[in-house]
Chains A and B, each alone.
Chain A
């Protein structure tokens, strides 16, 4: 069953603009992670936010977590054409448990 669901499913923006992607989930989590996938192959881990954290930054990335609303957002500032990829949120729900992924968001950044 789907735990994380991303919104929107697709996003197209101009280079230099900010991109905001949202993720909602259903059950309590230990942590939430965001990944990027280029060309349908391996995923790259971007950032991990624990359930007791509310915001985290990494370079041009900003992630927020609202456990009361069971939602997270990923903000990419000053987007670049190289940011074009699919982005997935994934949650860890229990001890020794695996990541459960959403279906992903396709981000296109136009030069």
Chain B
């Protein structure tokens, strides 16, 4: 597609349930990033993919968070046993390669609300 697509755009889930967030990057972009943004805050890095591998997953807040990328394209961020503090906007971005030469193209995000 023309841009980075994220789904769903909004997700309300009950505490303790698992959720999956999807990111479809721009075709041909090898680098893919997940961030989250809490209300009024900056962006918190979660994980970075180069192709299907994740050289940097240092931002995942706990072992309840995991992510994968298949075929060098679509990525899924999974949050298990959701907690209220997981409520945030989860943003995905892609770039043609790692961040030294190019800016990121962001999706519109998934707003996750844990009730």
A97 in contact with B99 (CB, 8 Å):
yes
* Residues of chain B contacted by A90 (CB below 8 angstroms): 43
CB distance from B38 to the nearest CB of A (A): 10
* A98 in contact with B45 given A42-B106, A42-B108, A48-B102 (CB within 8 Å): yes
Q: How large, as a class, is the contact surface on chain B?
A: 20 to 34
Instruction: Give Cα A56 to B82, complex, Å.
Output: 44
Whether, in the assembled complex, B55 has its beta carbon less than 8 Å from a beta carbon of chain A, the answer is: yes
B37 in contact with A97 (CB, 8 Å):
no
Instruction: Choose, from A11-19, A74-82, A101-109, the stretch at the interface.
Output: A101-109
Q: Which of B41, B50, B104 has a CB less than 8 Å from the CB of A45? A: B104
Q: Which of B35, B39, B41, B100 has a CB less than 8 Å from the CB of A31? A: B100
Contact residues of B between 15 and 39, Cβ < 8 Å to A: 33, 35, 37, 39
